[in-house]
A and B are shown apart, each in its own frame.
Chain A
Amino acid sequence: MTAKEYQSASDKAIPHSKSYRNIPMAFLVGGLLCVLGQAVMNLCLYYGMEKDIASACASMSLIILSAVLTGCNIYDNIAQHAGAGTLVPITGFANSMVSPAMEFKTEGYVLGLGAKMFSIAGPVLVYGVSASVIYGLILFIFGR
């Protein structure tokens, strides 16, 4: 068997992800998180907050919830079933910061926690900020 033939045999041997279960679960959990965010926002608006502040409160609530669940070793168990449902919303971002912070605390607060905290979220920040700058430039040049 040549390397190429082996790679195709290997591709055939790989079981597929259980999409029939993963996709509905991601939809359900991701949707529920959005409903929760919306509920917080509506509650804030009900108590007379400005829309901008109410929106920030909703994001912060989800971030805190995700950070607390990560700290209590619960988040990864939910994420194992929810998949993209917990990864894509802002909860996934919070988890990607808190989990390395917890894990690498043993290497110290500076070179461990501080440095490794961005090991997963760092690329998202770099390319997210870069994309927003490029978008801003395009808007500045052509959007007037």
Chain B
Amino acid sequence: MATRIGTYTLRLDKPTSIISFAAAGSRKESEGPLGKYFDCINEDSTFGEKTWEKAESTLQKCAVTKALKKAFLTPGDIDLMLAGDLLNQCIGSTYGARQMGIPYLGLYGACSTMAESLLLAALLTEGGMGHRCLAATSSHFCSAERQFRFPLEYGGQRTPTAQWTVTGAGACITALQSGPPYIREVTIGTIEDYGICDINNMGAAMAPAAYATLSHYFHDTGTKPGDFDLILTGDLGVIGSQLLHQLMDEAKLSITANHKDCGLLIYDRIEQDVHAGGSGCGCAATVLCSYILPQIQEGSLKDVLFMATGAMMSPTSVQQGETIPAIAHLLHLSHTSGKEGESC
């Protein structure tokens, strides 16, 4: 069983691996700097479906199927699936999983869902509650826009702080003792709210949550930012990243040297006109599954802190004038298991 270290962090005692992973996306993602690393790309963002919600389900199913295929597994080999997305009642995930027959738990962590589902999958696997667990998430630009903002064809101008919801899905399968990448520690985030209420400035709303979780992790484990090759946040974008750097600098835990944000990696921000960067559950999920995990697997990245951030508001709470609470969950992903006497 995992051991609690400090107040917020859990250390996985048995070496828990991500045995397979896959990322799926659409045209805009394929045109971005990471396009070539995706496992499946469908140029048609409808994915051959009649509604955007169905398109998202198909997209997520695509990532899950690919992750299973890469590990030569069938849905029957998976003991538990943990999945979520941005849509009301998480229909992107439930409709994607309805023909799989895998025991299913739906999650809502907004854009932090990849970290939330993966850390739960890791803990359940390590605790022996499942031999293989599947963590998946997705987001679709068109389904998110119509739910949270305006119809696609509405002629409004996007603000400089707005972020572009990634049309993408990621899936990871966890199991014990199967080589890198390993999940070594996880820190479950706390809800943080610093009073930001602009729905078009999610990065600023989420940066304090990222700061809190990172500080908790460093405090609990006695590590410092320099101990990691990469500190990867989910979708803070350009403004959120800048604010996180400010908060970390103030706490004397500067991360400027080794911090990257998935929202700034997935698109060419200027060329692709995505304003403050990418966002959505699919942002952290696709960057992790396409670009980061292969590097940890081959050893070019040894230790990575992966932290997906989520803004936990709804259109109703925003209209009622509420500020935006946010959360960030962290996983320490490593090329080595950290267990004595084990070859990696």
The reply to whether B160 and A16 contact each other, CB–CB distance below 8 Å, is yes
With beta carbons under 8 angstroms apart, the residue of A1, A6, A86 that contacts B155 is: A86
With beta carbons under 8 angstroms apart, the residue of A6, A18, A76, A79 that contacts B195 is: A6
Query: What is the size, in residues, of chain A's interface with B at 8 Å between Cβ atoms?
Result: 37
Q: Given contacts A7-B195, A15-B161, A80-B158, are A70 and B153 in contact (CB under 8 A)? A: yes
| B154 partner residues in chain A, CB cutoff 8 A | 76, 95-96, 99-100, 120
Residue interface bits A33-77, CB-to-B below 8 A is 1, else 0:
000000000000000000000000000000000000011010110
| A114 partner residues in chain B, CB cutoff 8 A | none
Q: Which of A3, A13, A86, A120 has the most CB of B within 10 A?
A: A13
**Bound Cα distance from A96 to B156, whole angstroms:** 9
| Chain B binding surface, main DSSP class | loop
Interchain nearest-CB distance for A17 vs B (Å): 6
- The residue on B at minimum CB distance from A96 is B154
The answer to whether B159 has its CB under 8 Å from any CB of chain A is: yes
Query: What is the size, in residues, of chain B's interface with A at 8 Å between Cβ atoms?
Result: 29
| A92 partner residues in chain B, CB cutoff 8 A | 155
Interchain nearest-CB distance for A2 vs B (Å): 9
- The residue on A at minimum CB distance from B53 is A106
| Chain A binding surface, main DSSP class | helix
**Bound Cα distance from A99 to B153, whole angstroms:** 5
Interchain nearest-CB distance for A87 vs B (Å): 6
The answer to whether B2 has its CB under 8 Å from any CB of chain A is: no
**Bound Cα distance from A18 to B160, whole angstroms:** 9
The answer to whether B6 has its CB under 8 Å from any CB of chain A is: no
The answer to whether A14 has its CB under 8 Å from any CB of chain B is: yes
With beta carbons under 8 angstroms apart, the residue of B194, B242, B250 that contacts A13 is: B242
| B193 partner residues in chain A, CB cutoff 8 A | 3
The answer to whether B157 has its CB under 8 Å from any CB of chain A is: yes
- The residue on B at minimum CB distance from A26 is B157
The answer to whether B339 has its CB under 8 Å from any CB of chain A is: no
The B127-176 residues at the A interface (CB cut-off 8 A) are 146, 150-161
**Bound Cα distance from A71 to B208, whole angstroms:** 42
With beta carbons under 8 angstroms apart, the residue of B52, B153, B160 that contacts A98 is: B153
The reply to whether B151 and A102 contact each other, CB–CB distance below 8 Å, is yes
The answer to whether B243 has its CB under 8 Å from any CB of chain A is: yes
Residue interface bits B249-291, CB-to-A below 8 A is 1, else 0:
0100000000000000000000000000000000000000000
The reply to whether A7 and B196 contact each other, CB–CB distance below 8 Å, is yes
**Bound Cα distance from A14 to B160, whole angstroms:** 8
**Bound Cα distance from A75 to B193, whole angstroms:** 37
| A78 partner residues in chain B, CB cutoff 8 A | 155
The reply to whether A73 and B153 contact each other, CB–CB distance below 8 Å, is yes
Interchain nearest-CB distance for B131 vs A (Å): 40
The answer to whether B74 has its CB under 8 Å from any CB of chain A is: no
Q: Given contacts A14-B161, A14-B201, A15-B160, are A99 and B243 in contact (CB under 8 A)? A: no
**Bound Cα distance from A79 to B156, whole angstroms:** 6
**Bound Cα distance from A78 to B153, whole angstroms:** 11
The answer to whether B18 has its CB under 8 Å from any CB of chain A is: no
- The residue on A at minimum CB distance from B145 is A103
Residue interface bits B224-262, CB-to-A below 8 A is 1, else 0:
000000000000000100110011001000000000000
The reply to whether A95 and B50 contact each other, CB–CB distance below 8 Å, is no
The answer to whether B51 has its CB under 8 Å from any CB of chain A is: yes
Q: Given contacts A1-B247, A7-B195, A10-B204, are A17 and B151 in contact (CB under 8 A)? A: no
The reply to whether A79 and B157 contact each other, CB–CB distance below 8 Å, is yes
The reply to whether B243 and A75 contact each other, CB–CB distance below 8 Å, is no
The reply to whether A102 and B239 contact each other, CB–CB distance below 8 Å, is no
What are 13 sample pairs from A and B whose C-beta atoms fall under 8 A apart?
Answer: A6-B194, A7-B194, A7-B195, A9-B246, A75-B153, A76-B153, A76-B155, A92-B155, A95-B153, A96-B154, A99-B151, A99-B152, A106-B50
Listed in ascending order, the chain A residues whose CB lies under 8 Å from chain B are 1, 3-4, 6-7, 9-10, 13-18, 22, 70-71, 73, 75-76, 78-80, 82-83, 86-87, 92, 95-96, 98-100, 102-104, 106, 120
10 A-B pairs closest in CB distance: A79-B155, A103-B151, A99-B153, A99-B151, A10-B204, A99-B154, A6-B194, A15-B160, A83-B157, A3-B194
Excluding A3-B194, A95-B154, A104-B146, 14 further A-B contacts by CB distance (< 8 Å) are A6-B247, A7-B194, A10-B201, A10-B239, A13-B204, A14-B161, A15-B161, A22-B157, A76-B153, A76-B154, A76-B155, A80-B155, A99-B154, A106-B50
